[in-house]
Chain A
Amino acid sequence: DIQMTQSPSSVSASIGDRVTITCRASQGISSWLAWYQQKPGKAPKLLVYAASTLQSGVPSRFSGSGSGTDFTLTISSLQPEDFATYYCQQANSFTFGPGTKVDIK
């Protein structure tokens, strides 16, 4: 089974900061990766799929990159509504990463 890891597990950041989250697959998955955002008590929301395609309606400050085993989600300028937990998900067996919590510094 493909395992997914994320780093860091949490990050404290300020409004306007650039935030980068990394996701690593235990074996190559080409570009079969998605990123989701989840706020407390809410359902997850798809941000990026196919590693770098921004879902419709998602602000352009979010971007995804990578292929093979190493992927990143970048928030170019953190906004108040971006404080949340972010999960990567590989599309082969739908495994999710453990999540990265972004909170206020």
Chain B
Amino acid sequence: EVQLVESGGGLVQPGGSLRLSCTASGLTFSTYGVTWVRQAPGKGLEWVSGIGYDDITYYADSVKGRFTISRDNSKNTLYLQMNSLTAKDTAVYFCAKDLDNTFNWFDPWGQGTLVTVSS
């Protein structure tokens, strides 16, 4: 069974940085794309960033230049380095696996990690 577990969330001040991790099990991690999606409190889903099995990266306009996605296949782990954080970045951050390596749809998802940007 494929499982994804996020970690690294917490409280950070505006302008600060945080690095999220997503550790995968039950799959050959290096052969799949993975993505980050966030959900602000009480709001809908917003795609944030993705990285293909070929290490090609994708970013939403709202985070481009501030967030960096990367992966360490030897550790089965996906990362999201978040810099210059603002209150608008407050959300639960989910990681999810590319379903079929087309990088169109995602399943399964992790349980999420909460990032709160506040002074």
Is the pair A96, B44 in contact by a Cβ cutoff of 8 Å? yes
Known: A49-B99, A94-B50. A44 touches B45 (CB 8 A): yes
Taking CB as reference atom, which chain B residue is nearest A87?
A: B45
Chain B contacts for A36, CB-based, 8 A:
45
Stretch in B12-20, B83-91, B104-112 with 4+ CB within 8 Å of A = B104-112
Tell which of A32, A43, A55 touches B112, judged by Cβ atoms closer than 8 Å.
A43
Q: A32 vs B102: C-alpha distance in the bound complex, in angstroms?
A: 11
Q: A95 vs B62: C-alpha distance in the bound complex, in angstroms?
A: 12
Taking CB as reference atom, which chain A residue is nearest B47?
A: A94
A98 at the interface (CB under 8 A from B): yes
Q: A98 vs B44: C-alpha distance in the bound complex, in angstroms?
A: 6
Chain B contacts for A93, CB-based, 8 A:
47
Chain A contacts for B111, CB-based, 8 A:
42-43
Taking CB as reference atom, which chain B residue is nearest A6?
A: B44
Is the pair A96, B45 in contact by a Cβ cutoff of 8 Å? yes
Q: What's the interface size class on B, roughly?
A: 20 to 34
Chain A contacts for B104, CB-based, 8 A:
32, 34, 49-50, 91
B46 at the interface (CB under 8 A from A): yes
Chain B contacts for A99, CB-based, 8 A:
44-45
Tell which of A46, A94, A95, A98 touches B107, judged by Cβ atoms closer than 8 Å.
A46
Is the pair B105, A46 in contact by a Cβ cutoff of 8 Å? yes
B67 at the interface (CB under 8 A from A): no
B79 at the interface (CB under 8 A from A): no
A89 at the interface (CB under 8 A from B): yes
Is the pair B46, A34 in contact by a Cβ cutoff of 8 Å? no
Taking CB as reference atom, which chain B residue is nearest A48?
A: B105
Residue contacts A-B, CB under 8 angstroms, 24 given: A38-B45, A42-B111, A43-B94, A43-B96, A43-B110, A44-B94, A44-B96, A45-B107, A46-B99, A46-B107, A49-B104, A50-B105, A55-B99, A87-B44, A87-B45, A89-B105, A91-B102, A93-B47, A94-B50, A94-B58, A95-B47, A96-B44, A96-B45, A96-B46
User: Which 10 pairs of residues, A with B, have the shortest CB-CB distance?
Assistant: A91-B104, A46-B107, A94-B47, A43-B109, A34-B105, A49-B105, A96-B45, A99-B44, A98-B44, A87-B45
